[in-house]
Amino acid sequence: MKDFLLKRPSAWLPIAMSLIALMLVIVHVVVFGVSQNPQKDEGAAARIFQLLLMGQLPIVSYFAIRWAGKYPSQTIRVIIFQIVLILLAVMFIFILES
């Protein structure tokens, strides 16, 4: 029962959302390239990216509250994995903007 918590939607849904956000950025860069002149309006891709990242907060919070008492070590590992994926997606944006 080592990966029991990863089978829960509150665990894998934020992971999937982070991966979708990262793929959204990659696909947008491949299709449209990186603009040297930043625009005032960020566009639909940026809005969807922001919604995907911010939408994870309530799910991760629920996951932490629900499972931290029963399976603390698994919960911490899943949350660390989720945080790493979020940071990876955000770091990719920062690299592209610099």
What does the pLDDT look like over 52-97, one tens digit per residue? 999 999 999 999 999 999 999 999 998 999 899 989 988 988 887 7
Boundaries of domain holding 57: 8-31+44-97
Nearest to 57 by CA among 4, 14, 18, 9: 14
Q: How many domains does the chain have?
A: 1
d(CA 59, CA 45): 22
User: Quick check: is 36 in a domain?
Assistant: no
Can you give the pLDDT at residue 32?
Answer: 81
User: Quick check: is 38 in a domain?
Assistant: no
User: Quick check: is 37 in a domain?
Assistant: no
Can you give the pLDDT at residue 60?
Answer: 92
Q: Which amino acid is at 67?
A: W
Express each pLDDT in 8-61 by its tens digit. Answer: 888 899 899 989 999 998 898 888 877 776 666 678 888 999 999 999 999 999
Can you give the pLDDT at residue 4?
Answer: 76
d(CA 22, CA 86): 9
d(CA 57, CA 47): 16
Name the percent of the chain in helix, strand, coil, to the closest 5.
80, 0, 20
